[in-house]
Amino acid sequence: MTCFLVACSAAALARPTIEELQARDFLDDYESNIVYGYNIVMETEKYAARYVGNKLRCTNCHLNGGTTPDAFPLNVAGLYPQWRSKNGVRNGIVLRIRECFLYSHNGVLPPDHAPEVLAIAAYINYLSEGEVIGKRPQGAGVPTVPDTGFDPNPARGEVVYKRACEVCHGADGAGTAAAPPLWGPESYNAGAGMNRIDKAAGFIWANMPLGQGRSLSHQEALDVAAFVKLQLRPFDPREGRLAKLAERIWLRISGFFGAEQP
Amino acid sequence: MSLRGYAKTLLNEVRPDFSWTRSVDGRRETISGVTGAVLVIPQAITFAYLVGMPPEYGLYCAVFVGFFASLLGNTPMVGGPNTAMSILLALTVMPFAGRGSPLYIDYVLLLSVVVGLIQLSIWLLRGAEFFRYFSPAAIFGIKMGVGVLIITSAVEGMLGLAPLTTQFFYEKFYIVIAAWDDIVNPYAAIVSGVTVLSGLLMRKSFPRSYIIAAVLIGGVTGAALVGFLGPVRTDIELLGRIPFQLLPLRLPTVTSEYLLVMQEVFPSAVAIAVLGLAQSLVIAQDLKSHVKSQVSLGREVFAQGASNIIGPFFSSFAGSGSFNRTSVAVSMGAMTPLSGLIAAVAVAAIAWSLGPLLTYLPMPTIAGVLALVGIGMIQVSEIRRLLRSSIDGPVFVITILTVTFLGLKVGLAIAVLMSLGFFIAGVSKVALVMVDQDGVEHIQVTGNLFYASLDALAHHLREHPGANSVLDLTRVPYCDSSALAMIDAIKRERLKHGGRLEVMTAD
């Protein structure tokens, strides 16, 4: 029995790397989907252009193609289906991936049989090999920043941003060649998980500035997250873009005629 | 035909014929080409959906297959993605890879090269002649059967379902009706319903552009629903951005595993190749009366095969001439291949510049267009005309039933067999006219005398072995060795019984 288990874990360890897969001259449907999914994660704007609406790549948050712990690693296939408060239903991995396109990529909601979505699901399965089904892998998601006793302060966050983040992300948050945009039309929208201060602070504290993770204090991470959240970005698509536009126009008109603003 | 003459004919058909440039009405060709391009864009996206490829591949097919087919042919026939071929391409590759996955795309493109190669072999074997014996009733049966198949394949997209696989087409309707409340997305149903209804209402008044109008109305309905209620609540599938490239160069992957798959799907590839040629040649045949320049069927076969081989190198799947696009082009005054060339270039220009506008086009609208195309292929007046004929009626009914119930491949095989059967039945009919001239029986034979048509004549001649007859073969264009042997044998029998048989031939 022990022998069998050892053999099993050895087989799990011996899974081919992406480079090995890419070097083969024939891939079956599952393997080719793993490589396709990897390509999408690394160069989303090129391989999943159909559904992406901004300049973010999956690997911008799921660092190193979803292989870095504490940076939303993608080895989580065993955690789905999972009930999530975000949409109040039990989410399969496919729905979870589709929502990334809608919120984080500020794009079009792909159908649940879209080849891009199924390819990412295959890649997630591939990364999850060897994990225990139903058990949270080590370093899943991002760490929770402990209660510092102070509220997040965006004004102080701006100071931290100028000191530590601006070099790569730019003064206007639009990103540079070295780092992705943090706000503005080319970044994630207000419905994205990254727009939650707790998630963003955990991610920033554990991973930012890139390569010097855990160098900011907990309070600094919270402050910067609050500063970034307050910037302008595409709004939450759950509300309906035209409905939101009509609401804004109505507010403008009613304001013009001196009506009371809600 | 001598080997030299054969080579000469081939060379002649390979060399592009630009004699039409001398008498071309550039303005009319341009107007017809650009109109055709506007009309084909929704169709190309729809057919890509039918093949199971991302939408840009349908546009590539309209651009590159259309361009090369017009360049190498010399008729105003407009080429591009084709309904029946699209259905068969999808059915052929589906067992080997997931719809739309990278492997699937590789297989479809390689299969298209194989289809082109088969068409070129048909060209080398001078197979264009064969397609003339294809019964028009069978072709109409296939066309309308494809119409039914298209309408059924649009059901999932129209109602926002995941792809359903069923044995027979009507099961899908049963599933949808039985489980309507559970599986149908009402918002998708509203959008596709608006698209189809508006298309049907406008079909009479705008026979050329009703599909564009339906796309606009359905698209606006969908955009309004998504815009006001949000993409999450409506869950309407949108087309998304089309990463259209002007030069989508690509080398089809060929490895031993790919070739094994191609070997397995070879029969389907033959069916796809034959379907493409049959449709293109019917169009070319129709155009003969319309265009001034010489229509050579051999050249069209070469153009189809070559464009399907070149196409995959530009990310296009196999296509053929299009009935409805050609008839629109001709009705707008196209006389030369120039309109097809302009249409291809215009599709590229429009898709490249207006692509972003299509991002929020709802898929239920595209599925609705598919249903409209399918409904357009079922012509009631044509069915009535065919059913009145005692031969065409059964051929048509049998073809349409086999296509819808047993699939396109079987339907095609049955159609070919029935066409051949009726052709042989027609050819082997021999008319005998007997006139008595002063005790000598004069038998005039009209028709081909060969092993299949001898019986009646032999029976008649052997009835009275002692009679004196003259056999008039001046109206027999073809007489095979078995017929000659039979006549010789009867001559001898008659001599034995004291009768005579004289043979009169044309020379």
Beta carbons of A25 and B255 less than 8 Å apart:
yes
User: In sequence order, what are the beta bridge partners of A84?
Assistant: A89
Q: Residue A56: CB partners within 8 Å, gap ≥ 6?
A: A44, A104, A105, A106, A180, A181, A186, A187, A188
DSSP 3-state assignment of B5? helix
Record the tokens describing residue B290, joined without a space.
Answer: 């319309």
- Cα separations in angstroms, A225 against A101, A155, A178, A229, A231: 22, 11, 20, 6, 10
User: Is-cis flag, bond preceding A209, omega within 30?
Assistant: yes
Contacts of B238 in chain A (CB under 8 A): 108-109
pLDDT tens string A142-168: 999 888 888 899 999 999 999 989 889
Q: Residue B466: CB partners within 8 Å, gap ≥ 6?
A: B494, B497, B498, B499
* Residues of chain B contacting A, Cβ within 8 Å: 54, 96-104, 162-163, 223-224, 226-233, 235, 237-243, 255-258, 359-360, 363
pLDDT of residue A7: 46
Parallel, antiparallel, or unpaired: how do β-strands B468-475 and B440-446 relate? parallel
pLDDT tens string A234-255: 888 888 778 888 888 888 887 7
Of B54, B98, B231, the CB nearest to A118: B98
Task: Give the count of beta carbons closer than 10 Å to the beta carbon of residue B284.
Answer: 27
Beta carbons of B98 and A115 less than 8 Å apart:
yes
Beta carbons of B231 and A29 less than 8 Å apart:
no
Of A50, A245, A246, the CB nearest to B241: A50
Beta carbons of A26 and B257 less than 8 Å apart:
yes
> What percentage of residues in chain A have a pLDDT greater than 90?
43
pTM over the 0.95 mark: no
Question: At which residue do the structure tokens 């007489």 appear?
Answer: B479
Which residue does chain B place closest to A108, by CA atoms? Answer: B240
Best mutation target among A242, A248, A249 (most B Cβ atoms within 10 Å) is A242
Residues in chain A: 262
Contacts of A235 in chain B (CB under 8 A): none
Which residue does chain B place closest to A101, by CA atoms? Answer: B240
pLDDT of residue A13: 53
CATH (residue range A17-127): 1.10.760.10
**Nearest partner of A61 among A229, A237, A187, A231, judged by Cα:** A187
Q: Do A122 and A15 meet the contact criterion of CB atoms below 8 Å apart?
A: no
Largest CA distance in chain A: 81
DSSP H/E element including B433: strand B431-437
CATH (residue range B431-504): 3.30.750.24
Give the single-character DSSP code of B334. Answer: -
pLDDT tens string B371-419: 988 888 888 888 888 888 877 888 888 988 998 888 888 888 888 888 8
pLDDT of residue A257: 65
* Minimal C-alpha gap between A38 and chain B (Å): 13
DSSP 3-state assignment of B321? strand
User: In sequence order, what are the beta bridge partners of B470?
Assistant: B442, B502
Record the tokens describing residue B417, joined without a space.
Answer: 């067999």
Q: Do B218 and B194 meet the contact criterion of CB atoms below 8 Å apart?
A: yes
B215 vs B306: CA distance, rounded Å: 33
pLDDT tens string A163-212: 989 889 988 888 888 899 999 889 999 889 899 999 999 999 999 888 88
Best mutation target among B51, B226, B241 (most A Cβ atoms within 10 Å) is B241
SS (H, E, C) B142-195: HHHHHHHHHHHHHHHHHHCCCCCCCCCHHHHHHHHHHCHHHHCCHHHHHHHHHH
* Full pLDDT tens readout for chain B, 507 residues: 578 888 888 888 888 877 777 777 888 888 888 888 888 888 888 889 889 898 899 999 999 999 999 999 888 888 899 888 998 999 899 889 888 888 899 999 999 999 999 999 999 988 887 777 777 788 888 888 888 888 888 888 889 887 777 777 788 888 888 888 888 889 999 999 999 999 999 988 888 788 888 989 999 999 899 888 888 888 888 888 888 888 888 888 888 888 889 999 999 999 999 989 988 888 888 787 777 667 788 888 999 999 999 999 999 999 998 877 888 888 887 888 898 999 999 999 998 888 788 888 898 998 898 898 888 888 888 888 888 887 788 888 898 899 888 888 888 888 888 888 887 887 788 888 888 887 788 888 888 888 878 888 888 888 887 888 888 888 888 888 888 888 888 888 888 888 888 888 876
DSSP codes joined into one string, A183-206: SSTTS--TTSGGGSHHHHHHHHHH
Q: Residue B352: CB partners within 8 Å, gap ≥ 6?
A: B244, B246
pLDDT of residue A73: 93
* Minimal C-alpha gap between A56 and chain B (Å): 15
Q: Do A148 and A218 meet the contact criterion of CB atoms below 8 Å apart?
A: yes
Give the single-character DSSP code of B77. Answer: -
- Please state the separation of Cα B290 from the chain's center in Å: 20
Beta carbons of B227 and A238 less than 8 Å apart:
no
pLDDT of residue A10: 47
Parallel, antiparallel, or unpaired: how do β-strands B468-475 and B500-504 relate? parallel
Write down the domain spans for chain B: 25-133+179-363, 431-504
Q: How many A-B residue pairs are in contact by the CB < 8 A criterion? A: 96
pLDDT of residue B475: 84
- Residue A155 burial (10 A CB sphere; 0-12, 13-18, 19+): exposed
* Amino acid, res. B123: W
* Residues of chain A contacting B, Cβ within 8 Å: 25-29, 32-33, 35-36, 49-52, 87, 102, 107-115, 118-119, 237-243, 245-246
Give the single-character DSSP code of B120. Answer: H
Q: Do B343 and B37 meet the contact criterion of CB atoms below 8 Å apart?
A: yes
Q: Residue B304: CB partners within 8 Å, gap ≥ 6?
A: B69, B73, B79, B116, B119, B276, B277, B280, B320, B321
- Cα separations in angstroms, B450 against A146, A220, B229, B361: 98, 99, 74, 62
CATH (residue range A154-237): 1.10.760.10
Beta carbons of A237 and B237 less than 8 Å apart:
no
CA angle (B237 as vertex; B231, B239 as ends), nearest 5: 110
B16 vs B180: CA distance, rounded Å: 55
DSSP 3-state assignment of B59? helix
pLDDT of residue A1: 43
Record the tokens describing residue B140, joined without a space.
Answer: 């109409």
Which residue does chain A place closest to B232, by CA atoms? Answer: A238
- Cα separations in angstroms, B166 against B142, B152, B363, B507: 20, 11, 22, 63
**Residue A5 reports pLDDT greater than 70:** no
Write down the domain spans for chain A: 17-127, 154-237
pLDDT of residue B84: 86
A13 vs B107: CA distance, rounded Å: 32
Which residue does chain B place closest to A120, by CA atoms? Answer: B101
Contacts of B99 in chain A (CB under 8 A): 113, 115
Question: At which residue do the structure tokens 């990310």 appear?
Answer: B315
- Please state the separation of Cα B483 from the chain's center in Å: 39
B313 vs B316: CA distance, rounded Å: 7
* Minimal C-alpha gap between A60 and chain B (Å): 21
ipTM of the complex: 0.78
Best mutation target among B103, B258, B262, B363 (most A Cβ atoms within 10 Å) is B103
pLDDT tens string A116-139: 999 999 999 999 988 899 899 988
pLDDT of residue A8: 46
A123 vs A18: CA distance, rounded Å: 10
* Minimal C-alpha gap between B184 and chain A (Å): 14
Beta carbons of B228 and A243 less than 8 Å apart:
yes
Beta carbons of B101 and A118 less than 8 Å apart:
yes
**Residue A55 reports pLDDT greater than 60:** yes
pLDDT of residue A260: 52
Phi, psi of B141 (to 5 degrees): -60, -45
Parallel, antiparallel, or unpaired: how do β-strands A82-84 and A89-91 relate? antiparallel
pLDDT of residue B209: 81
